[in-house]
Every structure is written in structure tokens, then in C-alpha cells.
Amino acid sequence: MTRQRKLSPTDLEREYLYSDPPLSFSELAEKHGVARSAIATLAAKGKWFDRREEFRSRLTERTREALSEEWSALQTANYRRLMKMASNYLDKFETLLDGDDFRPNTKDALAMASMMLQLHRDMERKPVADPTVIDGDEIEDPAAVIAEVRRLMAGEPKDEDA
């Protein structure tokens, strides 16, 4: 028979503060055969909950700092891919519009325009609450929508006189 090691309050505190995933008082008590109330009393006196929250907050912040350059590079690469895909799609859509037998699908044009506008807004870092919603029945000239999206992608200011 093995002799169970007596845990010090410091050992319990350390396990509560730094365990990953975090343990509850009940889990800690069950794991070590200690009354939950005894752990809760120690935790209240030592402010374990607040200290664990502070530790986890610092850990999260340090992790973000350590990965920020990699995250930025990944975001940049993703935006470049999105811009390339959107531009390719726009070119293909424009080619179809130039053809005589093509009747544009309004929903496809709106989806493409919405995607392009969202990408542009993301690149400008403007907060967008909802995606752009356009009533398809109001669009008479899909080519004008494409021209507007291209103007926005180029960063040209909105022509207020038009």
C-alpha cells in the first residue's frame, strides 16, 4: 500500500493557479481527497481566483505579444489571397458582361460586390456592423456596381457630385 503524500496549502494553491486546463475547487478537492470547503476557505484567504485570473490574463497577453508578428504575417498573406481572388473574379465577371449573350445574375453580382466592399472596409480598418445589403431589384447596371467596387479598391474618394 502506498502512502498518500500530504499536500501543503502552497501545493494546492499552485495547482489551482497554474493548472491547464484550469481546475475548479471541486475538481481539486476530489483529486486530492480533500473537502471542497477546506479548499474554498484557503482560496478565499489567498484570493486564488483573482490571482489565477490575473495570471491567465498576463499569459494571454504575453502569448499575443510573442505571436503578433506571425499573426500579422498570416493576416497579410490572407488579405493578399483574398484580394487576388476577388480581382480574378471581378475580371471574369467583367469579361462575361462584355459578351453579348450574358444576362448577369443579380445575386452573384451583389455577392461579389459585397465581398469586395467588405474586403475594402477591412483593409481600411473601419468597423463594419453588418455586411452591405443591396436590394437586387434596384440595380439596373451591374457594370456600374463593378466600376464602383474597382474605384473603392483603388482607394479613390467617393464622387459626391455624381
Q: Round to whole Å and give the CA distance between 106 and 83.
A: 22
Cβ-based neighbours of 108, under 8 Å, separated by 6 or more: 93
What percent of the chain lies above the pLDDT cut of 90? Answer: 22
What pLDDT sits at residue 109?
A: 72
Averaged pLDDT for residues 17-30: 91
Q: Rounded to whole angstroms, what are the CA distances from 89 to 21, 85, 92, 116, 147?
A: 45, 6, 5, 10, 14
Tell me the three cell numbers of residue 40.
Answer: 474554498
Cβ-based neighbours of 37, under 8 Å, separated by 6 or more: none
> 118-160 pLDDT, tens per residue?
777 776 764 444 444 444 555 566 666 666 666 666 666 665 5
Specify the pTM.
0.44
